[in-house]
Structure 1
Amino acid sequence: MSPRQKNKLNDIARQMMSGVVQILVEGYIEEDIQSVLNPSVKIPGIWSGSGFFVKYKDLEGYIVTNGHVVRNAVKIEISSMLTSEERFEAEIVGLVKQLEPDVALIRLMDKELQRFKKLAIQPIDYLELREGANPSRGELIKAIGYPLGMVEPNITGGEITNFISGSEFTSERFVTNAAINPGNSGGPSITEDGKVIGLNTAMIVDAQNIGFITPASFIKIIIDNLILLNEPHFAGIGGKLQKNAENFNPLLKQDHAKGVIVSKVQTNGFLEAANIKARDVILSINRAEFDRHGIVIGKEGLYRHKNIFDVMKLVPIGEEVEIRYLRDGKVHQSKAKAMPNPEKGIISSPILNERKYLEVFGMVIQPLSFEIIQAIQEVDPYAQIEMLKILDQEKPMLVVTHIHQGTQADQMEWPLGELIIKINGKEVHTLEEIQKVLEKQKGEPVLLECQSGMIGYFQTEKEPSLGN
């Protein structure tokens, strides 16, 4: 890169720096195992991150940041180099709770936006997302943010060094050697065209010069969903896929292994809507063809391992999708509208204030979530293994996550991690179902049965306490 090009990128970064803000948060420390197993225990904390004013239609005061920066926040304030050390209160528009991708959208409240404009030394610089064209390896970028709580924005330089494909559960990321440290995650990575190529997202601990960027195309879809639907969803396949192989040629009546095999079709999902069946072979989606590994074939695939999940997630929900597939040796074509994957019974529940729980008989009962399964590992790895066996459960499951000493549950020596499946012989899947039965008992004994076969016979004393 010539000195002139380098200076141009430096100048652009300095100009765009005014659109980047520091985000200061008061909230709860979500990683604390006590809070996961007993949601009535909340550990307060303070932290900071970065964000940027995003250009989106005619909206004002909207800021993009990482989901982990504002997840479990109680109070959010932003500061900007345009307004000295003044702070302005912001509210969450929405976020990807599972952090895949790690994106959130916040906004200045109306009064705060007006106060910001009044105090700012110049108009807000709204940064534009770069969509469509993907970066290439070696493309120079600048990452902007407020690392380690610095009060002035920091600019670090680097380049796009690699790409990480998404999966059924993860989203695509760009890899960079630009320094991305705690605090400047949530800020923008920008290119010579003066646009945001992506969101500074994370670094690998103990790795040298490896950081991640969430692509701008994913950010745009998240913003659309948050503003229009108030819930960030990507389009999903709606089933399980497996790699193709030449061994399957006689079975699938294919000339050679190309495309991926559908191993399972999920009820009420995209594949079912497109009339796809198990053992069909998906050849292309919206004209993007796939090899036997599910990787896009063509020039883009030569330099990138963009896969079928990446292609699907970039289709806006509700948009019609064209899918070509092989069945019994013949190529067919079908269409269906893009939709999120149907929700399973076992979900992620990372927002502390949204966790529902029931305190009864001296124990805390919660809907089973991925966070609980992970927390249980630190207490009882065997119990975690039992829970992992039911991840594909269609209905929710209830789990005992805490036992208070000296209570009925403690006297019966109920262990942590028991999965409750029946109350008085009736199958239960929700806290509300348990609560209804207990309200009818009015002092009568209650029999709880667990998946392990363990039982508990409890005397009801008062109405159960349902919390969140």
Structure 2
Amino acid sequence: MTKSKHKLTDVAREMMSGVVQIHVEGYIEEDIQSILNPSIKIPGIWSGSGFFVKFKNLEGYIVTNAHVIRNAYKVEISSMLTSEERFDTEIVGLVKQLEPDVALIKLTDEELKRFKKTAIQPIAYLELSEKTNPSRGEAIKAIGYPLGMVEPNITGGEITNFISGSELTTERFVTNAAINPGNSGGPSINENFEVVGLNTAMMVNAENIGFITPASFVKIIIENLLLFNEPHFADIGGKLQKNAENFNLFLNQSQAKGVIVSKVLKNGFLESAKIQPYDVILSINQVEFDRHGIVMGKEGIYRHKNIFDIIKLIPIGQEVEITYLRNGKRETTKAFAMRDPQKGIVSNPILNERAYLEVFGMIIQPLSFEIIQAIQEIDPYSQVDLLKVIDQDQPMLVVTHIYQGTEADEMEWSIGELITQANHQEVHTLEEFQKVVEDNRGKSILIKCLSGTIGYFNVEESIKFGI
């Protein structure tokens, strides 16, 4: 493809040959029953979009949204180059938490050969833009297969706005180009034959507001997926809060500039940099921040980029320079970018990866963010105790289902109970809990919960664990 500027419509027509439709068979992950009782899996079929990506010397690799293939057990693609033929793919990896919503799949070796043999022309590999700062008002075209259409659809629009990232989310571009269900995973392209970003979502109940995952994040994800199967961004490794003039005397600062470090997490980036609570971070790699943590200078006029957006785009392992204020004195330190410190309570959205025990008439699982959210929909009061343990270093076990007429039901146990002890031993994992139960076959076992609830269960000699 030539690099000189062309009419955007002509560019889109040429690039759409690299866009594919993705056909998925999998489990419907939104079903609360499946989250609280993993033995229940609701099958479903759906479709999305993707595109062959130009990356190093890779062949047959396709970028899409993670939500398109998450919890899939069969993923096929079709292309306008190959009539209505379908081709099997393998999942290389995906961002399980959908932040950002990116996944990488590939044609199997045999299917790549068959695709090349069937295609009416060579595969068009689309190039990710090197530009990290598109302009508001920049024209784009979104390409994909919305609503299950069998031919690629092209919609036009502009980059209309930007949404800053946060501690838990990544930056997104906003567009007025129509993005509908099925468009997810397709590219948004510019007149330079480049992919600006990945069509990710639409705003429900709003007109002409869609979201694009920037190509800069997609590149980092691809690199990480090829190396680790699951990507991680650099993380600040602590809690930050807005600065204010009221803090001037306390922090010995002349004006409220930069963000306050309110907490330093163990084994995190800030600890590695020897940053302490109440230090004020003024800049990272010479990028300065105002008291809200927003990037200052010319870039800040046109973009609402913040400190989290800056840190996430630094490759893990790269040295980072931090300028900060401590007791009124300006200091500089360096540390290597690293991922967020591992917590005991994590996200686990992949249904087939959820381990559980079925014993004493109840389902017991490691506590995860998905379980907290599901329990909130059933019993909002249970969530209060669950949220208290999110930041702890150790995992926790939670009761997610009670079968009627069982021992647990007779003792009036409820969903959301957090198990802390079994026969006076602390238990944090399913393996620890199962070992205590197995060691007491033919006896009874006392189980205690964080709420104070107790249970005294008979352990049968022939007890079997449903896992």
Do Structure 1 and Structure 2 share a fold, with TM-score over 0.5? Answer: yes
Q: Unmatched 5+ residue regions in structure 2?
A: none
Q: Which amino acid aligns with 1:263?
A: S
Q: Secondary structure at the match of 2:62?
A: strand
Report the residue type matching 2:193 in the other structure. G
The residue that corresponds to 1:333 in the other structure is 332
Does structure 2 retain, via aligned residues, the 8 Å contact 1:438–1:464?
no
Letter in 2 for 1:53: F
The structural deviation recorded for 1:131 is: 2.1
- CA–CA separation in structure 2 for the residues paired with 1:466 and 1:257: 58
Q: How does 1:80-159 map to 2 (within 5 A)?
A: 80-159=79-158
Q: Which moved more, 1:454-463 or 1:12-21?
A: 454-463
Whether 1:297 and 2:296 are equivalent positions in the alignment is yes
Contact 1:359 1:464 in 2 (8 A): no
In structure 2, relative to structure 1, the CA distance for the partners of 1:466 and 1:19 (3 Å cut) is farther
- What residue in structure 1 maps to residue 54 of structure 2? 55
For residues 451 and 126 of structure 2, the distance between their equivalents in structure 1, rounded to whole angstroms, comes to 55
Structure 1 contact 356–467 (Cα < 8 Å) conserved? no
Which amino acid in 1 is paired with 2:185?
G
Partner Cα distance (1:465, 1:262) in 2: 50
Instruction: Give the paired residue count.
Output: 464
Task: State the SS of the aligned residue for 1:94.
Answer: strand
SS in 1 for 2:7: helix
CA contact (8 A) 1:362 1:403 kept: yes
Shift of 1:462: 4.6
- Paired position in structure 2 for 1:198: 197
Any idea what SS the aligned residue of 1:232 has? coil
Over aligned residues, Cα RMSD in angstroms? 1.3
Question: For 1:406 and 1:110, how far apart are their aligned partners in 2?
Answer: 53
- Residue in 2 that maps onto 1:174: 173
Whole-Å Cα distance in 1 between the matches of residues 461 and 157 of structure 2? 62
Contact kept? 2:6, 2:192, Cα under 8 Å: no
* 1:467 positional shift: 5.6
Matches within 5 A, 1:23-422: 23-422=22-421
- Measure the CA separation in 1 of the matches of 2:82 and 2:163: 38
TM-score, with normalisation over the residues of structure 2? 0.98
Deviations 1:174-228 (A, max 9, x none): 0000000000110000001110000000001111100000000000001111111
SS in 1 for 2:74: strand
- Once residues 147 and 291 of structure 1 are traced to their aligned partners in structure 2, the CA distance between those partners, rounded to angstroms, is 41
Give the 3-state SS of the residue equivalent to 2:128 in structure 1: coil
Q: Could you tell me which residue of structure 2 aligns to residue 447 of structure 1?
A: 446
Matched to 1:102, the amino acid is: D
Shift of 1:15: 0.5
Task: Say if 1:435 and 1:464, in contact at 8 Å, map to a contact too.
Answer: no
Asked if 1 retains the 8 angstrom alpha-carbon contact of 2:258 and 2:288, the reply is: yes
Q: Matches of 1:281 and 1:379 in 2, distance apart?
A: 42
Distance 1:398 1:201 in 2: 34
* Identical amino acids, percent of aligned pairs: 75
Amino acid at match of 1:88: F
In 2: Cα distance, 1:115 partner to 1:391 partner: 48
**2: CA distance between counterparts of 1:394 and 1:383?**
21
CA deviations on 1:22-67 (whole Å, 9 max, x unpaired) are 0000000000010000000000000000000011100111100000
**Quick one: which amino acid aligns to residue 442 of structure 2?**
G
SS in 2 for 1:394: coil
1:349-406 per-position Cα deviation (integer Å, ceiling 9, x unaligned): 1000000101110100001111111111222111012211222121111110011122
**Structure 1: tracts of 5 or more residues without a match:** none
What SS does the aligned partner of 2:365 have? strand
